[in-house]
Chain A
Amino acid sequence: MIEFLFSRHRPLALLAAAVLAQVLLLAFQIKREHDVRLIRYWTAAVVMPVERGGTWALSKVGGMWTGYVGLRGTRAENARLRGEVDELRMRNRELEGRAAEAQRLGVLLNFRDAHPEAQMLAAQVIGASADPASHTLFINRGERDRVRRNLAVITPDGIVGKIVEVFPATSQVLLINDKDSGAGALLADTRTHGVVKGSGDPDPRLEYVVNDEPVHVGEMILTSGEDRIFPKDLLIGTVASAKAGNPFQVIHIAPAARLDRLEEVIVLLTQQELKRPNDSADSADAQPSAEGIVQKPAAPPAAPAAANAPSSGKAPAPPSGPQN
């Protein structure tokens, strides 16, 4: 075919070749911008698209190689690495748990060291009640550890509850937010007495405070010591809300101890009042210490005489104090 074309159109082909040769000769001599020869422009215009195409094709082939063929062992490696990650996560959680436990135990130890006068026992929470309506838990201390009923259970943050059942190696604790619970309490600012009782809700209430008594949100609520279980001036919590009721105010308490996340607690083996870190009575306002012991405020005007009179006397008598 080519031979036929050249034999038949040889003069024309020769003309084209001669003209083309001279055009190339011209392109070799002519210079355009930046002193670049025209033939370089043309060569670049012809070659660059081919090179771009080649580069694109090679990158695609390379991409396929690295993205597919080269990843033959990746699935197995991925599974192995995932296993390692899971294992390390578990290990990390375990270490985090141990670190948190060490921190909590450190706080308990500090609390114990701060109060050498009081006999206390650190205990670990090992279980809780199976009844959702019952707010109790089990600790790993029992009769063998000299634990007995009606001992106070606290944390450095605040009170937790009291021992209600004692077994040889374990004990059951009734939390202050259980509906059967009760503790003598007083408002830190006014020294108004009341009773902290559970209602079945997560947060307990302060009862038997008359409507005339000024109560403000955030005010601290302390143990009064009248129940003969909790030593005096331990922090129970703060006022979360207060509104007038009939015949007493309805006061909700935000417990200082995190009752839903307890892991380590302290069992007070006596009802002896704990020494305050700074036993100065000149302090104007009651302030909780780092160990949940509250500084005594300056000269309360009228301290209540008994647990049976939780308020300042203006209110009707509440029913015979906390039933602990």
Chain B
Amino acid sequence: MSYMLNPGAQSDSNIEVHKYYGGTVVIAAFLALVLQAFLHKYGRWSELIDLPLLVTIYFGVSRRNPVTGLLLGGAIGILQDALSHDNPIGLYGIAKTIVGYLASTIGARIDTQNPVSRFLLVFVFFHFHQAVFAVTERVLLDHPEPFFTLRLLLNSVVTAAFGVVLFAFLDRLRRTS
């Protein structure tokens, strides 16, 4: 089930695409959004983890289909914007659309089963997501959103660590062939 670095285009036909039980993706995404909003009520510690981002990355990497990856990322991002109290619709949508696309594209080329790989993957995507978010904020909203802070670094580490655990849990939802 696991594989290491994929050797280029010829590997496209050999890529293992994971299947999930019906409704798994939708339910996981929905729960991530609900939990993120729900936990936010109980303190700022919930901001340490970006659950919608983890779901986007995981299913993008697992499904390895750029179209479904970007659509899933876009849908999760837009819903996240809708649940926020002052974000215009599309801020998270743009960032997660691009993350979903890249995750499904890159996931075919690197080992996504190894916990270290998963940690690094989430860590990098967290900061890439933040970068896209900051650019969008600065260009469109004229808000000085930071690209990098220590708080963001802490968030990325916590999210990446939590991602390793979450991904292992989500692996169990795969449909065995």
Contacts and interface: CB of A to CB of B under 8 A. Distances in A.
Contact of B91 (A14, A26, A38): A26
B140 A19 contact: no
B101 interface: yes
A23 B140 contact: yes
B66 A25 contact: no
Contacts of A38: 140
B14 to A, nearest CB: 19
A57 interface: no
Given A22-B90, A22-B94, A25-B90, A30 B140 contact: yes
A12 to B, nearest CB: 8
Interface size class of B (residues with CB under 8 A): 20 to 34
A22 B136 CA distance: 11
A32 B141 CA distance: 8
A22 B94 CA distance: 6
A39 to B, nearest CB: 10
Given A22-B97, A30-B141, A15 B90 contact: no
B140 A22 contact: no
B88 A30 contact: yes
Contacts of B67: 10-11, 14
Interface in A24-47: 25-27, 29-30, 32, 38
A217 interface: no
Interface stretch (B70-78, B112-120, B147-155, B159-167): B70-78
Nearest to B75: A18
Contacts of A32: 142
Contact of A11 (B78, B89, B94, B101): B101
Interface in A164-182: none
B140 A18 contact: no
B90 A18 contact: no
B78 A15 contact: no
A26 B66 contact: no
A15 B66 contact: yes
B66 A18 contact: no
B89 A19 contact: no
B25 interface: no
A19 B97 contact: yes
Q: Is the contact region of chain A dominated by helix, strand, or loop, or is it mixed?
A: helix
B89 to A, nearest CB: 6
Contacts of B91: 26
Contacts of A29: 88-90
Contact of B74 (A11, A12, A18): A18
Contact of B101 (A15, A22, A30): A15
B52 interface: no
B93 interface: yes
Contact of B98 (A10, A11, A15): A15
A23 B88 CA distance: 10
A324 B90 CA distance: 120
Contacts of B90: 22-23, 25-26, 29
Central interface residue in B74, B78, B105, by most chain A CB within 10 Å = B74
B70 A22 contact: no
Interface in B35-77: 66-67, 70-71, 74, 77
A32 B77 CA distance: 24
A26 B98 contact: no
B97 A15 contact: yes
Contacts of A26: 88-91, 94, 136, 140
Contacts of B74: 18, 22
B30 to A, nearest CB: 20
A115 to B, nearest CB: 101
A29 B38 CA distance: 26
Nearest to A20: B94
Contacts of B89: 22, 25-26, 29
A12 B78 CA distance: 20
Smallest CB-CB A-B distances: 6 pairs: A11-B66, A22-B90, A29-B88, A26-B90, A25-B90, A22-B93
Interface of A: 10-12, 14-15, 18-19, 22-23, 25-27, 29-30, 32, 38
21 contacts: A10-B67, A11-B70, A14-B70, A15-B66, A15-B97, A15-B98, A15-B101, A18-B71, A19-B94, A19-B97, A19-B98, A22-B89, A23-B140, A25-B89, A26-B91, A26-B140, A27-B140, A29-B88, A29-B90, A30-B88, A32-B142
Interface of B: 66-67, 70-71, 74, 77-78, 88-91, 93-94, 97-98, 101, 105, 136, 140-142
